[in-house]
Amino acid sequence: MNNPDNKPPSDRPRFGGGIFLFFGLLIGSIVGIALNEASIGMISGFGVGCLLAILVWVFDRKRAEEGR
């Protein structure tokens, strides 16, 4: 509930990193299939996607704290 006294910390839009999870899985699977290691490619792509999503989350938290 937002009232005038309880304003959100920042009015700036938030970033989302979920697209990196999807593209990590997709690209990792394609590269894995090309190298005849589909499972390893998918897992490594998921790991890279998770890392990028976490970096976006950390960057967005710092950006939101600066915008207060």
pLDDT at 64 over 60: yes
Please tell me the predicted confidence (pLDDT) of residue 32.
96
Please tell me the total number of residues recorded for the chain in this structure.
Answer: 68
Residue 56 vs residue 16, higher pLDDT: 56
pTM of the model: 0.73
pLDDT at residue 57 is higher than 60: yes
Q: What is the pLDDT of residues 14-53, one digit of tens each?
A: 778 889 999 999 999 999 999 999 999 999 999 999 999 9
